[in-house]
Amino acid sequence: MAKRTVRDLPDLKGTRVFVRADFNVPLEDGRITDDTRIRATLPTLDYLVKAGARLAVASHLGRPKKGPEPALSLKPVAAQLQDLLGGSVAMAPDCVGPEVRKMAEDLRDGDVLILENVRFHKEEEENDPRFAARLVADTMATVFVNDAFGTAHRAHASTEGVSHHVQRSVAGFLMEKELRYLGMARDAPDHPYVAVLGGAKVSDKIEVIEHLLPKVDALLVGGGMAYTFLRAEGLVTGKSLVEEDKVELARRLLEKAGPKLRLPMDHVVAAAFKEDAERRTLPVDQIPNDWMGLDIGPTTISAYADQVRPAKLVFWNGPMGVFEMKPFAEGTLAMARALAESGGTSIVGGGDSVAAVTRMGLADKIDHVSTGGGASLEFLGGAELPGVACLEDA
């Protein structure tokens, strides 16, 4: 899965480069509340700037449905990037068109131009080849650098289509790092290898579970998805989240996995889906009919942590409970601590898992915190990602 990177490009001075970044950052009243994704691509942008390339940087932001939406403009990103790079960053009024072409023509060596939200054009998500050609022509690019792993599972004009209209297509440093660590988890793990999977639904992680089962030494399940498996074992689950149409699939996965697939032994249950609801900690085979499981319990936390700490490789995706509510966050926070204490290689992917390690100040103790939620799951499930496949092999 190794790909050529910006390091493999010859003299970049004066080269016009189309960079696809993932600047899909959270905004509040036009203000960026978390610039992690911007910072993640700084090594690539800084390398290209110092090499004297002329950069046109594209990204999407949010999910605009009817053309341009001022609230989803990349202007705040351009301002933040200028502060972080310490150099001038220009903001284009669009991502294609004569004004963009003029601004691209005026770029000098080491200059950076941020293109406006590519999803303001419906042709972006359609991967319209004419739109992809315009993106390249109006930015005058001869090289495509994809550093947006989080969107690499989408065959869009700016993530895949542009590769057909340039001379070279390579990975940025963030893309390289994602492929190296997630490739380790998917294809060449050290042992013992432990995967921790949580979140709401089994259906979101079927391919990942099936692909990882032959490779892992233990697969630890938590979150809402655990209740579909517990129902498959014949346990009463009260009002806990269960995907009724996936119970038979869960039963087959349990048979296939044998002792590798571990389920919670106890759980924190509540009378309602509310932070201040009455709650109890019970064995998983005990739950009042009108109650629901909202977190793994202390016995499970201890057992899972004991599996994680000595592992040579750990991959974690998905919360162990309703992480947004403090009374049901301990399982997720405990997994974050266990990964940080692990002596092996630790990889975290998925919004709530990333939020947990970040909230606890543990991100710097994790070997790799992935920027790709859906992309990392599809990759680990064995899928070929269009935004990766279009890049030159090493």
Q: Could you give the C-alpha distances from 244 to 18, 146, 251, 342, in angstroms and in order?
A: 46, 40, 12, 36
Cβ(2)–Cβ(394) below 8 Å: yes
Q: Which of 30, 351, 361, 382 is catalytic?
A: 351
Question: Among 182, 170, 176, which Cα is nearest to 146's?
Answer: 170
Distance between CA atoms of 218 and 315, rounded to whole angstroms? 11
- How many CB atoms within 10 Å of residue 289? 8
Phi-psi region of 361 (alpha: psi -120 to 50; beta: other; left: phi over 0): left
As a whole number of angstroms, the distance between CA 273 and CA 200 comes to: 14
At a CB cut-off of 8 Å and minimum separation 6, what does 62 contact? 24, 27, 69, 71, 72, 117, 119
What is the amino acid identity at position 276?
D
Active site residue 86: no
State how far the Cα of 140 lies from the Cα of 343, in Å rounded to an integer.
Answer: 48
- Which one of 3, 37, 246, 262 is the catalytic residue? 37
* Residue 318 annotated among the catalytic residues of the structure: no
| Residue of 4, 101, 201, 251 with catalytic role | 201
| 374 catalytic residue (yes or no) | yes
Selected catalytic residue, list 87, 183, 374, 381: 374
- The total number of residues shown for the chain amounts to 394
Q: Do 58 and 135 form a contact (C-beta atoms < 8 A)?
A: yes
Give catalytic residues, as residue numbers: 37, 201, 351, 374
